[in-house]
A and B are shown apart, each in its own frame.
Chain A
Amino acid sequence: MVDKTHPKQAQDEAAFVEAYELRLAGGAPEQVPPLWRAEIEELVKLHAQIAAIPLPEVAPSVRAVVLSAAAQAVADRPVSVWARLASFLLRPGPILVGATAAAVVFALAVRDDKPRTSVDSGAVALLENADPRAAAPVEVPAAAEEPPAAAPQAAPPIGQAAPGAAPALDQAAPAAAAPALAAATAPRPGPADKAIAAEPASVAPQGAADMAMNTKGQRAADEAKPRAEQQAAKADDALEDQVFAGQKARGAAPEPMLGAVANQAGQNQVEKRLAAEAEKESAPQAQEAAQVQRKVPAAPAQVQSAQARQDVDAANVGADSVKDLAKSQAAVANLRAEIEKTSDPNKRAALLLQLLSVAQQSGDAKAAAWAKGQLAAQSPAKAAAGKSAGGQAAPAEKAEKAESDKSGPAKVKASSY
């Protein structure tokens, strides 16, 4: 269609139409140029009359035809799943359902945002700051299947439980070391434990699991006590058998002095063997103490994990001194109990000598003084018995001699007798 209108004239006509549209849009008559004002006012009235004419109705069959064709087209057309989903979700029903669900979720979220108590906050903070290694799946360490000698190198990392720790504890645990072991494995009553103990298990499942782990470690330490006592009793029986064996050897000797010396020699051998066994057994014991300490994650809190690491380090560093101390204390306690139970003066004197020797080796001055006192108290009766026996030396003198032999530069061995 060719536009034959002059440009200038076209601009005027366009300006007139724009003024007419402005007037129809609600503009004031004064906004219309005076030249066109009267004409535009007449056109506005005509526009109102034309707009009042109702639109013609369309035959209903046309609508039916169009909608059926639309339905057919939709049925024939491959529509993607996403397009169908979008079409479904944009309808009023899904919109209302979605809005309702969003409102419910929002209301629940607002309801859950109420302030927590201090206990809740502490427990939640502990759970949030939990050592991730504590939640790691429990692995069976290779150390559980290896011999005890290789166990220290194969110790599991902190936070992982060692299933073989408890059976290893059963093998050697002197009674004197049991309290230290229990103290090393017991959970530290730090703020983390307090918070977890205050938190119900249903509210903090992770804290409950940690509490269970703590209880497990404590139970293992508690179980180690009677077993260690049983082991100590076995050691006492062995010691007693050895003492009786020494007495038997003394009785078989032609000279009472030789019998006493043989008894002393037998006691020394028994002592050395016990010391060697205790040393062998205390090595895995110290290791197991560290393992039990590792096995007890106590709480997921970093504070308690750090405490556990410190304990493990202390157990590793002082393992030698602990095992020596435990061995000596066990021997002293066993000998002292045996002395108090024994009524036979000879056996009592032999045990006192052995106790004195062990106490001097371990540096237990109290036990050594007690042994000396007992020997001194027993010496008058023994002196008389010694004279009647043909010059047998008094126990006090023998104790002094034994002391001088052990402290002297040229130690005389029992085998030289």
Chain B
Amino acid sequence: MWLLTTLAILAIAAVEAVSDEALYDRFVAGDPKALGVLYDRHARALKAFAIQQGAARPDDVVQDAFLRVVRNSQAFKGQSKFKTWLYTIARNLCVDASRRDRFRNGPSLDAPVAGDDSPTLGERVATDMVGSDASRNTADLQFRGAYEEAMAKLPAEQREVFSLREVSGLSFAEIAEATGANENTVKSRMRYALKALRDALADFA
């Protein structure tokens, strides 16, 4: 009996420890549920990355990124990590969206959405970013607001690197691969982003 229990525990642990690449292989082999597991692992961090990249519709970025993963399964050769491939797709989508929005006459982030007393679009994006947890306290709200404001002021390259490193958890090598930049350059951008955030959030440190 103890042998069966041990084997069951080992089997469950093995399933839990399945890598992203193995899950994607299972999806390619014909298991759509494997893609569901991948979606649950990365969708929220991918939306946070899209928000910090200034995407007007972060959910659309997430959806389009995963749809490309589904449709371009033959393009993934396994030479890089699935996570790097996914964020590369999302980054390209964000770049394309920012280029479209540049020529679009959309509402200003500083303008109220509904009336004069309603929050601005920027405040609404920040609210979306931090979620709608009612239990969060005022200090946290203030910090999150300051953090999002400081992030919005960062240069795009530095914000991109900082977001991929701190929020998405990619290594510097993976960030370099996703952005197409040198690893030392990525680290330099990270250094400047840290310095800017430290200066902007000095009151909260």
Contact = CB atoms under 8 A, between A and B. Distances in A.
A66 B67 contact: yes
B101 interface: no
B122 interface: no
B190 interface: yes
A133 interface: no
Interface residues of A, number: 53
A14 B15 CA distance: 37
Q: Give the interface size class of chain B.
A: 35 or more
B173 interface: no
B31 interface: yes
Given A73-B73, A77-B30, A3 B11 contact: no
A59 B182 contact: no
B50 to A, nearest CB: 9
Contacts of B129: 53, 56
B166 interface: yes
Interface in A63-106: 63, 65-67, 69-71, 73-74, 77, 79, 83-84, 86-87, 90-92, 95-96, 99-100, 103
A46 B30 contact: no
Given A74-B30, A92-B11, A62 B71 contact: no
A55 interface: yes
Contacts of A343: none
B133 interface: yes
A112 interface: no
B81 interface: no
Nearest to A77: B30
Nearest to A90: B26
B147 A54 contact: no
Contact of B205 (A42, A54, A91): A42
Given A54-B133, A59-B59, A67 B32 contact: yes
A58 B133 contact: no
Q: Name the residue among B45, B131, B184 with the largest chain A CB count within 10 angstroms.
A: B184
B98 interface: no
Contact of A66 (B63, B147, B194): B63
A70 B166 contact: no
B32 A55 contact: no
A167 B109 CA distance: 115
B19 to A, nearest CB: 12
B182 A92 contact: no
B201 A46 contact: yes
Nearest to B144: A53
A59 B128 CA distance: 11
Nearest to B181: A1
A100 B4 contact: yes
B198 A55 contact: no
B160 to A, nearest CB: 10
A370 interface: no
Contact of A20 (B26, B62, B71, B194): B194
A49 interface: yes
Nearest to A51: B166
Contacts of B164: none
Contacts of B39: 63, 66-67
A53 B144 CA distance: 7
B111 interface: no
A14 B51 CA distance: 27
Contact of A17 (B67, B73, B182, B187): B187
Contacts of B143: 49
Interface stretch (A5-13, A197-205, A359-367): A5-13
Given A42-B198, A46-B198, A103-B7, A79 B29 contact: yes
A50 interface: yes
A167 B205 CA distance: 113
Interface of B: 3-4, 7-8, 10-12, 14-15, 22, 26-32, 34-36, 39, 43-45, 47-48, 51, 58-59, 62-63, 66-67, 70-71, 73, 128-131, 133, 140, 143-144, 147, 157, 166-167, 172, 179-182, 184-185, 187-188, 190-192, 194, 197-198, 201-202, 204-205
Given A10-B187, A17-B187, 16 more contacts: A1-B157, A1-B185, A3-B181, A5-B185, A13-B187, A13-B191, A42-B202, A47-B166, A53-B140, A56-B128, A63-B43, A66-B63, A70-B70, A77-B73, A83-B28, A92-B11
23 contacts: A3-B182, A3-B185, A5-B185, A5-B188, A10-B185, A14-B188, A17-B172, A20-B194, A43-B198, A46-B205, A50-B166, A55-B47, A56-B51, A57-B47, A58-B43, A62-B66, A63-B39, A65-B63, A69-B70, A73-B73, A92-B15, A95-B14, A99-B10
